[in-house]
Structure 1
Amino acid sequence: ISDFNRVRLEFIGHYTDICEDPANSTLWVNISRSSSITLQEQALSLTNDLAFFPLPFFDPRNSGKLELPFVFAANPTLGEQKAAAILASYFGSQSNWRGASFPVLYDALPSVQNKEATQPSVVFATNDHRPAFMSDLEKFPAVTAPVVELIDHPDAPYSKILLIMGRNEEDLATAAKALALGGNLLRGSRVTIDKVEELQPRKPYDAPAWMRTDRPVRFAELISYPQQLQVSGLQPRPITLDVNLPPDLFVWRNQGIPLRTQYRYTAPSANDDSRLNISLNEQFITSLPLVRKDTSSLEELRLAVLSNDTANANDKLVVPSLKIGDRNRLRFDFNFASTMGSAQRDRCQTILPANTQAIIDEDSTIDLSGYHHYISMPDLKAFARSGFPFSRMADMSESIVVVPAKTTPTQISTLLEAVAGISARSGYPAFGLRLSDDWQAAAKEDADLLLLGQMAPEMRDNPDLSLLLQRQRDMLVQPYGNSAIDANNRRGPSPDQRNKPANRTEVTAQAPIAAILGMQSPHHDQRSIVALLGNDDADYNLLRDAIGDSGKLDAVAGSVA
C-alpha cells in the first residue's frame, strides 16, 4: 500500500458455450456505488519538516472537504484577519472543488479526543498579540522577522501546528504569502522569511483556473491528468475537457468559436458506421466518419454559440446554436462499429477484436480570442459560480472586504471561507486582498466591495436596496417578475415592468435568516457590492453552509438570494 493505489476489477463472463460474440449486450456487469473498502489504519509520526508543505494541512490525494482550524488571540486585528484570509485563499485555491472549512478559535488549540488524533491547525501570533498558550516567552520567544514554524500538538504527537509569527501584522501577511509562493524553498522545522516581492502585477482575466481568451489554447493546457485524451476498446469512454471561462465573456450572436481538432484512431476493418461525435455542454455539434483509408484527420469547426444570459427571451430563434457559460464541457465520443463475425450455431465464425485505440491530439486548439467582456450586474450567479467580480483580478487586488469592527469566531470563519471560495474558482491566492472595518472609506475606493455583516446605516435608504436584515425586523422588495402571484398570471408583466419594484414586505421574526445581496456601488458606476448579510452567529452559520454547498450555490442568482 502506497500513497496512491488503484483497485482493478475484471469481469469474465459467458452467455453460451460456443460462438460467443464479445460485444454481445448479454455480457454486462454493474458495480454498485454502495460498494466499499475497509482499511485498518495507523497514524504515522511525521518529522517537523516544512519541506512536506502543504502536507499535512492539505493532502491533494484526499477527495474530502478540507477542514483546517485557525487559532488567534482574542479580538484579532484587521491585519491578523488579512494574513489569515491570504493563507485561507491559498488553501482554497488548492482544495478547488473539494471545498474548505476554517473553524476559528480564540486563545485555545483544537481539543483532541485521544493522543492518536491527526487534525492539524494554524496559529497566528505577533510579539504583542498572541494566544494565551504562547505566553511563555522562554518556550515561544519574540521574533525579529516573519517566521513560520512547525511543531507538535502538546496533547497529540501525531497532530501538527503551524505557527505564523511576526513582529507585527505586516510580518504575518508576509509569512502567509511566503507559504503560498515559496513552498519549494521551505525546509526544516523553522523558516525565517527575508523577503517576498511581487515582480509582475496580475492582469485582468488571467486567473489560472480560467481558459485564456487572448490566444488559441492547446488541449494540452486543458487536460487534468496524463492520457486524458486517449481511449481504447470497441466501446471507449468519452473524452471530456472542462473549459472554464470568465462569466462576462460576451459571445452572443458571433461568427462562431474556432475549434481545430486533430485526431487519430485504429483503422476499422471495413468502411462501416464508426464515427466521432462532438458535443458541447451535452448539446450535439457534429458527427465525423471514421473511414478505413484515413487513420488521422484534422477537422476545423466553428461553434455557433449563444451567451448564457437567461434574460434573453429570443435565444430560441437563433438556430443552430449552443449555449456557452462560465463552466463548459467539450466531449468527444469515438463510436466503433463492431464486426465480430457470425455467432450462429450452424455457421460459427470468430474474428478476434482489434486492439482499437483513439486519441485527440494535444495540439488541437480552441480559440476564444477577440471577444468582448460584458455582463449585466448585479448577477449573483456569476459570484456563486465564478467569484465574479472579485475574481476578475485573480489576486483580488481590486477588491476590499468590509468586516464588522467587532468580530466573533464564526464571523471570521465566514470571511475565510468566502475568500477561499473565490480563490478556488480563480485558482490563485488573494495576495492583493484589502480588509477594512470603515464602510465610508472603503465605499469611496475604486474597488469591488465584499461586505460581511450588516448593511451600513447610510445604505439602508438606498433606492437600489432590495433586502434589509435588521436584527428581528426584515424588509424585501420584489419586482413583478419575482412575484408568485404574477408567476401564475398567464399574461405576465410587460418587459418594461419586469424589473421595476412592485411589492415591499416587512416582517418581524425570531428564527435565523441570512442572505446574499448584489447591488451597484453608490460611488463608482462600474463597481459592485456583494453583501453577505447576517446579524449573529446563527445567521453566519447559514451563510457558511450555503458557501460550502455547491448545490446551494448553483441556486444563487439574480440580486438577492
Structure 2
Amino acid sequence: MLPPFSAPPMAAYPMFTGVAEGRSQLIRLRDLRSKALHLEGAVAEVGISFTTRQDDAFVAARMSLVFSYSNAVARDDGELQVFLNNEPIGSVALGKARGPKSRAEFTFTPALLSTDNRLQFRFALKGQGAKACTLDRDRAIWVNIEPATFVYLSTTRLPTADDLASLPRPFADPKDPLPLSLPFVLPSDPEPGVLQAAGMAAGYFGLIAGNKGASFPVQYTGLPAGNAVVLVAGGNYPPGVAAIPGEGPRVAVVANPSQVDSKLLLIIGENAEQLQAAAATLATSPSRLSGGWSAANAPLPPPRQAYDAPKWIPSNRPVRLGELGDGGAINGRRLVDSPRVSFRTAPDLFFGALSGGKMYLHIRRADDSWIDPGNSRVFVDLNQRTVGEIPLEPKLKVLSRLKEWLLPGNAEDRVSQVLLPAFQLQSQNHLDFLFELRAKANTDCEMLDWSERTGIDPDSTIDLSPVAHFAAFPNLALFANAGFPFTRYADLATTAFVMPQASSAEEVQSFLNLLGMMADATGVSPTRYKVVDAAQVDSVADRDLIVIGLNSTQPLLKRWESFNSVHITPTSVTAAPGLSFLQRQFQPTDPRAPYYRGAAPELAKANLGKPYAFLSSFWSPLDADRLVVMVGGTQPAALVDMSNHLGDPEMVAKVQGDFYYLTGSKGEFYTSGIRKFVGGLPIWWRIQWLAGSFELATFICVVCVIFIFAVTIERFSAHRANRLLSRTLSDGS
C-alpha cells in the first residue's frame, strides 16, 4: 500500500552547477522519414521538420546531401537549393556532369538552428520558374533526396540547475531526435519490489522518448558517466553523493560526481514500498516535484479501464484530426512537406464484413488563393500506400449540380470520404497527405502567397466505429507492436513480470526496456503491474505473465519449455507439429495469421551452438484463460538485443506467430497454427465470420438445406396433388 499523500516539502538543497561538455549528433533523414523525399515537375519544393534538445548550444554544423535524379533532369540541367528555417545553406547544379546519383556537403552557421527546425529542398529546371507551377506536372522530371542524407551537429550541453521542475530534462528531452539511452543504478541483488519501482521510472522515461525508442542499461555498483537514475534504498547512497534530508519517499536531482556536467535522478526510500511510492509519483505526477529534492508520496491515479490508452484512438466515436496532433501542421506553406498525422489503434480491432474505417475529409481553400482547384488534388497515403485521391473541386454529377444550384452552400462544407482499408490498419499508423497543387494561369510562381486557411480542416474525422475487439492468441506480432494483450489495461493492472531469483544487470535491463516500450505504446506510465520471482509465480496465477531471464537463471524457461512450439537443445532443433488437414478444416480463419509457418527452426538449426534469444507465447499452465510470453536467451547480450529489437519498428515487423528466434541481427518466426479466439462478436458478424472460415462446409450446408427444401416442396406438392385428385374422383362418382 502506498503511503497517503501529503503536501511535499521542497528545498533548494543540494544545488550544483557544471561546465558544458562537447557532444555530437547525427540526424539522419531515414530516422525522420523512412523513404526518400520526392520532388516532381519542372519546379518543386518539399520540406521536413526535425527537433533538437532544448539544452544544446550548437558550435558547428554540416550537412551531407545524397540525391538522385531522372534522365530528363540530367538532359535539361537544373538546380537544387537547400534552406534551413527559410535561410539558404547551399545549392547544387544538376546535369550530365554530376551523374544520376551524387553527394554534396555543406557547412552552415549553427546560428540558424533552433529547437524546432525545418529543412526545405527546392528544385527548378534551367530557365523555368515564373510559369512552371501553372503547368501539368511532368512525372519524367524528378529529384529524390535519399534517406542517407544527414545533418551533423557539434553541440555543447548547457549546464542546468538542480531543479525537479525541469523534469524530464536533462535526463530525457521530448525534442531530442535521437533514441534515449539512460542508465539505471540499482542496489545489488534487487528484490522484486525494487525492480517494480525501477520499472515505473523506466516507463516514465520510455513515454517521454516516444517512438524514437529507449534503452536502460543497468549496473549495481559505481556511477556511469552522464545522466543516470539511481535507486537509493535504506540510505545507501553512491560514493560521492551527499545524503538528501528528510524522511520517507523522496526524489532528488544532484550533480553526478563521475561527470560534473551530468545529473543523477535519485529515487529514495527506506524500503521497496517507499521506493515504489517515489517512483509512482515521478511516473504519474511529475508536476508535483520541484526544487533540488521533494517528498514523493502522491496517490496512484484511479485504475484504468480496458482499451482506454490515451494513444489509442477510440473506436466508439469519430476522432478529429486536430486531436491527433498540431492542426497548424496541415495547412499553409507546410502543405509542401506532405504533412503527416500519426495515430495508434487497439491491436485487436475486428472489422468483420466492413471494409475498414472511414475518414471524412474537409479540404479548405482561401477565396483569394492562387491555387487552381479544378486541376489540383490531394493524395492520401495510409502507411505508405495510397488510399484516396481527392480533387480540391470535385466534378459534380448532374443531381449534385442541381442540388448546388437549388441549395447553394460553401465549398468548404463538402466532405470527401476516404476508406481506410482494414488490412492496412496497424497498431501504429501514419496518414500522409500529398498536395499536388496547380496555380491559376495569371500566377507568378516565384511570388506565391500561402494562406493559413488553405489545407485540411482539423475538424476532419476518422471513424472506426462500429468495430469489435476480437483476435486469436497466441500472436507475438500484437505483443511486439503494442505489448498486447498486456496493454489492454494501460496501467498493466492484469500483468505480472516473473524474474529470476537473482537477476543479472542484463535481465533487469530487458525488463526495463520492455516497460519503456509498453508505455510508449499506450501513452501511460504503468504502475499497477506486479514483479515476482519464479518461486512466487503461483501468487500471480490470475494475471497474464511475462517471464524474463536466461536459460541458466530462469527456472520457468525449462519448466515450461514443453509449451514452446520450437524446442532447442545444444545439439538439435525440433518444431511442434502443425495442425493436421482435418484440424485445419475445423480451425476458424484468423485474418492476422502469417501466410506461412515460418523459418525459425531452420535458422536455429543453421546456428546451433551460437548465442540466441527467443520469444515464445502460449496459454498459461496456471490459468487457461491467461497468456504467457517468455523472453529468454542463452547469453546476457543476446537477451538485451532481443529487448532492443522490440523497439526497432523495422525489426518488429518480422515478429509473428507463437515463437520468434533471434541470433545476431537475424530473426525468424514460427507458428504452430494452434490458437484460441478472444473477444466478442455481434451474432450476425459471428455468422459471417464462421461462414467465411468454413466455406466448404458452408457450401455443403447450403446445398443440403436447398436439397431438403426442394424435397419437402416436392413431397408436399405430390401430397397436395393426390388429395386434389382423390377429391375430384370422389366428386365425380
* Contact 1:402–1:436 under 8 Å retained in 2: yes
* 496-505 vs 79-88, which moves further: 496-505
* Contact 1:258–1:300 under 8 Å retained in 2: no
Partner letter of residue 344 of structure 2? N
* Contact 2:352–2:467 under 8 Å retained in 1: no
Cα distance in 1 for partners of 2:125, 2:432 equals 33
Cα distance in 2 for partners of 1:339, 1:555 equals 48
Report the equivalent of 1:301: 417
* Contact 2:371–2:439 under 8 Å retained in 1: no
Q: Is 2:465 the partner of 1:369?
A: yes
CA shift for structure 1 position 288: 4.0
* Contact 1:480–1:502 under 8 Å retained in 2: no
Q: Deviations over 1:460-508 (max 9, x none)?
A: 47764313456x46644144599xxxxxxxx9x9766999999999979
Cα distance in 1 for partners of 2:292, 2:600 equals 61
Q: Deviations over 1:56-97 (max 9, x none)?
A: 100112111111111122111111111111100111111111
Gaps of 5+ in 1: 113-118, 309-322, 342-348, 483-490
User: What secondary structure sits across from 1:133 in the alignment?
Assistant: coil
* Contact 2:232–2:268 under 8 Å retained in 1: yes
Report the equivalent of 1:166: 269
CA shift for structure 1 position 10: 7.2
Q: Deviations over 1:17-75 (max 9, x none)?
A: 99753556799876566665555533432221111111110011211111111112211
Report the equivalent of 1:446: 542
Q: Paired residue for 2:495, among 371, 395, 399? A: 399
Report the equivalent of 1:87: 201
User: What secondary structure sits across from 2:170 in the alignment?
Assistant: coil
**Matched pairs, number:** 515
Report the equivalent of 1:241: 341
Q: Is 2:631 the partner of 1:532?
A: yes
> CA, structure 1 residues 324+45, in 2 after alignment: closer, same or farther (shift >3 Å)?
closer
Cα distance in 2 for partners of 1:557, 1:158 equals 44
* Mapping for residues 536-551 of structure 1, pairs under 5 Å: 536-551=635-650
* Mapping for residues 108-123 of structure 1, pairs under 5 Å: 108-110=222-224, 112=225, 119-123=226-230
* 438-447 vs 369-378, which moves further: 438-447
Cα distance in 1 for partners of 2:128, 2:458 equals 44
Report the equivalent of 1:424: 520
Cα distance in 2 for partners of 1:154, 1:240 equals 43
Report the equivalent of 1:263: 363
Q: Paired residue for 2:575, among 477, 480, 483? A: 477
Gaps of 5+ in 2: 1-110, 396-408, 588-594, 661-733
> CA, structure 1 residues 213+18, in 2 after alignment: closer, same or farther (shift >3 Å)?
closer
Report the equivalent of 2:616: 517
* Contact 2:303–2:493 under 8 Å retained in 1: no
User: What secondary structure sits across from 2:362 in the alignment?
Assistant: strand
Q: Deviations over 1:429-482 (max 9, x none)?
A: 111121010356347622111110247559747764313456x46644144599
Cα distance in 2 for partners of 1:385, 1:502 equals 20
Report the equivalent of 2:666: none
> CA, structure 1 residues 554+15, in 2 after alignment: closer, same or farther (shift >3 Å)?
same
* Contact 1:340–1:352 under 8 Å retained in 2: no
RMSD of aligned alpha carbons: 3.8
Report the equivalent of 1:60: 174
> CA, structure 1 residues 476+406, in 2 after alignment: closer, same or farther (shift >3 Å)?
farther
Q: Is 2:314 the partner of 1:212?
A: yes
* Contact 2:318–2:462 under 8 Å retained in 1: yes
Cα distance in 2 for partners of 1:288, 1:13 equals 25
> CA, structure 1 residues 232+52, in 2 after alignment: closer, same or farther (shift >3 Å)?
closer
Cα distance in 2 for partners of 1:459, 1:18 equals 70
* Contact 1:253–1:305 under 8 Å retained in 2: no
Cα distance in 2 for partners of 1:466, 1:17 equals 63
> CA, structure 1 residues 305+132, in 2 after alignment: closer, same or farther (shift >3 Å)?
closer
CA shift for structure 1 position 290: 1.1
Q: Paired residue for 1:49, among 158, 163, 171? A: 163
* 383-392 vs 286-295, which moves further: 286-295
CA shift for structure 1 position 181: 2.4
Q: Paired residue for 2:216, among 86, 102, 110? A: 102
Q: Deviations over 1:223-270 (max 9, x none)?
A: 2x351221449x844343223111101113127534332221145776
* Contact 2:133–2:438 under 8 Å retained in 1: no
Whose RCO is larger (CA < 8 A, sep 6+)?
Answer: 1
> CA, structure 1 residues 91+375, in 2 after alignment: closer, same or farther (shift >3 Å)?
same
Q: Paired residue for 2:232, among 120, 125, 129? A: 125
Report the equivalent of 2:428: 327
Q: Is 2:330 the partner of 1:229?
A: yes
Partner letter of residue 207 of structure 1? A
> CA, structure 1 residues 290+190, in 2 after alignment: closer, same or farther (shift >3 Å)?
same
Report the equivalent of 1:313: none
Partner letter of residue 63 of structure 1? P
Cα distance in 2 for partners of 1:239, 1:89 equals 29
Cα distance in 2 for partners of 1:279, 1:31 equals 19
> CA, structure 1 residues 186+439, in 2 after alignment: closer, same or farther (shift >3 Å)?
same
Partner letter of residue 374 of structure 1? F
- Which of the two has greater helix per residue? 2
Report the equivalent of 1:287: 390
User: What secondary structure sits across from 1:76 in the alignment?
Assistant: coil
Cα distance in 2 for partners of 1:33, 1:424 equals 25
User: What secondary structure sits across from 1:531 in the alignment?
Assistant: strand
* 260-269 vs 389-398, which moves further: 260-269
> CA, structure 1 residues 365+11, in 2 after alignment: closer, same or farther (shift >3 Å)?
closer
Q: Is 2:372 the partner of 1:274?
A: no
> CA, structure 1 residues 555+372, in 2 after alignment: closer, same or farther (shift >3 Å)?
same
* Mapping for residues 345-356 of structure 1, pairs under 5 Å: 355=449
* Mapping for residues 67-78 of structure 1, pairs under 5 Å: 67-78=181-192
* 43-52 vs 23-32, which moves further: 23-32
CA shift for structure 1 position 166: 0.5
> CA, structure 1 residues 213+28, in 2 after alignment: closer, same or farther (shift >3 Å)?
closer
Q: Is 2:533 the partner of 1:437?
A: yes
> CA, structure 1 residues 424+185, in 2 after alignment: closer, same or farther (shift >3 Å)?
same
Partner letter of residue 122 of structure 1? V
Report the equivalent of 1:148: 251
TM-score where L is the length of structure 1: 0.80
Partner letter of residue 431 of structure 1? T
Q: Deviations over 1:336-368 (max 9, x none)?
A: 334546xxxxxxx97887646532212222222
CA shift for structure 1 position 162: 1.2
* Contact 1:21–1:340 under 8 Å retained in 2: no
Partner letter of residue 74 of structure 1? S
Cα distance in 2 for partners of 1:102, 1:121 equals 9
* 23-32 vs 368-377, which moves further: 23-32
> CA, structure 1 residues 221+479, in 2 after alignment: closer, same or farther (shift >3 Å)?
farther
Cα distance in 2 for partners of 1:229, 1:10 equals 18
* 87-96 vs 199-208, which moves further: 199-208
Question: What fraction of aligned residue pairs are identical, expressed as a percent?
Answer: 26
User: What secondary structure sits across from 2:302 in the alignment?
Assistant: coil
User: What secondary structure sits across from 2:299 in the alignment?
Assistant: coil
* Contact 1:108–1:131 under 8 Å retained in 2: no
Tell me which structure has the larger Cα radius of gyration.
2
User: What secondary structure sits across from 1:362 in the alignment?
Assistant: coil
